[in-house]
Every structure is written in structure tokens, then in C-alpha cells.
Amino acid sequence: MADVSTLPNGLTVAYDEVGAGFPFVLLHGFPHNRSLWAPQTSALIEHGRCIAPDLRGFGESGREGPYSMEQYAEDVVGLLENLGIERAVVGGLSMGGYVTFAIWRAKPQLVRALVLADTRPGADSPETRRKRLELIALARESGPGAVANAQISGMVGATTRAQNPALVNGLHQMLAGAPVEGIIGALQAMMDRRDSTELLPTIDVPTLIIVGEEDALTPVKESRAMHAAIPGSRLEVIPGAGHCSNLEKPAAFNHVLGEFLSALNYA
């Protein structure tokens, strides 16, 4: 069962917390929930205090607006403050990465290190914005199941699609269970998000970039460009994984994340 925290802004946030020691927070993508990180929260327990929240509108967190990357960032910062955490490793996958950039922009002093998984720094192109509007209409007219049907094939790589139908079905269930308010709010927040490319050279904390080799939504070339722009960053490309690299190849993902966390000097 989730832990629950009520933020100063009134939002109720559900989160999983395991382990002890230095905190690291993991932010899910769209339209996921905190269970995306189940393969990490269980395996990385010896590396610190892992906190995986449901972002506003997803899982068991409150669904009221407003929705924006800045609002998600404020929610995560509020949760960490409620938990008495002054500094944490902050990581996110895809949309969780967009939130991670917003946290870096708003409160860099909170960030001990960054993990950017299957994400990109850029804002939406006009074509992507058009697709998001179509997805908003689909969510309104046909509900989360239709959004899940539209999204599922891009969520995983060809290897997973061919070899692991159980994983694809489980992920489809997660997507189809997303609340419609959260789906629409997140799509609007992603459409309106700022371009974070100019932030990359300002990142002066250890940064791990992870991407599935078969990621079609945030392709490897985006991660290579981030790696080139973030001083001293480390890039890991996970073979046989697509967009949800942490779910598709958990052992490889946990190996690089665990190594990164244990190499940090927590003093």
C-alpha cells in the first residue's frame, strides 16, 4: 500500500518508499504511475532511500489541476520537503525526465545528482503538439483504454514486443488504468513545456543518462546529444530495450543505476 502525504498546496501524493540512507527519487513517465519503478524500488534498496511518487493525476495521487511541468516539479519538491529531505538524487523516465529538468531549473540546490532515462530536453514540435491534441480528443471521447491502445506499441522496443507479451500486457493495463484527468493534464503540460536544452550546460552535478537502444519515442540520438551537452555526464545504452528501458531490461538498468548511486560521494 502507498504512503500518502498532503502537500502545502493541498495535493495528496501517493508514493512508495523503501530503504534508508541518501534519498533518490524516481519519476514515472506518461501515462504511467509509480508502479513503473517496481523493478528498481525492490532491487536498489541497498543503495539508499528510494522514493517513487505518483505524479499529480496518476495512480493514487490527487487529480485536481493546474497541470504544468512547473506544477509537477513543485509537487515533487513539496513531497521531499514534507519528508524532511533537503537534497536528493532526482531521476525521471521520459515525462518524468521533463519534470526532472523543471526541478533542476527551479531548485538546483535540491539536486545531488540526476538520472535522465529515455527522455529529451527539447520542447514539443508543432507536429507533436498536433498529435497531443488528437490524443486529448481521444481521451475525452473514448477514455484511457483507447489512449493505451494508441500508446502501447511505442512504449517498448521490438525485442520486448516479440519476446515478452506478458510485460506488454502488464504495461497496457497500467496505461489503461490512468485517470482521464491525469492524461489530459499531462498532455497539456507536455505541450506547454519549456525547452530545457539551454539548461544542459548548467548541469554541474553527476548525471547518468540511460536509454533503450530500441527507443522509438526518445531515440538514442537525443541521449547522445544530451550526453555531449552535459559536462561529465555518463551515457548508458541498454541493448534489447525500448522506451521503458527500466521495465524491459531491469537487470541492466539496475546495474548501471546501482553503480552510479554507489559511486556518488554522499558526504
Q: Which residues bind ligand MLT (CB under 6 A)?
A: 29-30, 94-95, 190, 217, 243
Question: For residue 118, which of 100, 136, 105, 131 has the smallest C-alpha distance?
Answer: 100
Q: Quote the CA–CA distance of 16 and 244 in Å, as a whole number.
A: 19
Tell me the residue ranges of DSSP E strands in 145-230: 207-212
CB of 247 to ligand MLT, least distance (A): 11
Amino acid at 232: G
Report d(CA 143, CA 109) in Å as an integer: 40
Q: Are 121 and 203 in contact (CB under 8 A)?
A: no
The least distance separating ligand MLT from the CB of residue 190, rounded to whole angstroms, comes to 5
Shortest distance, CB of residue 86 to ligand MLT, whole angstroms? 28
Cα 104 off chain centre by? 14
* Residue with smaller CB distance to ligand MLT, 45 or 191: 191
The distance of closest approach from Cβ of residue 152 to ligand MLT in the complex, given in angstroms and rounded to an integer, is: 11
Instruction: Find the shortest distance in angstroms from Cβ 150 to ligand MLT.
Output: 11
Between 112 and 243, name the residue whose CB sits nearer to ligand MLT: 243
Give the distance from CA 220 to its chain's centroid: 17
**Nearest residue (CB) to ligand MLT, 105 versus 131:** 131
Characterize the bridge pairing of strands 12-18 and 3-6: antiparallel
Decide whether 95 or 203 has the Cβ nearer to ligand MLT.
Answer: 95
Residue nearest to ligand MLT (CB): 29
Select 5 or 119, whichever has its Cβ closest to ligand MLT. Answer: 119
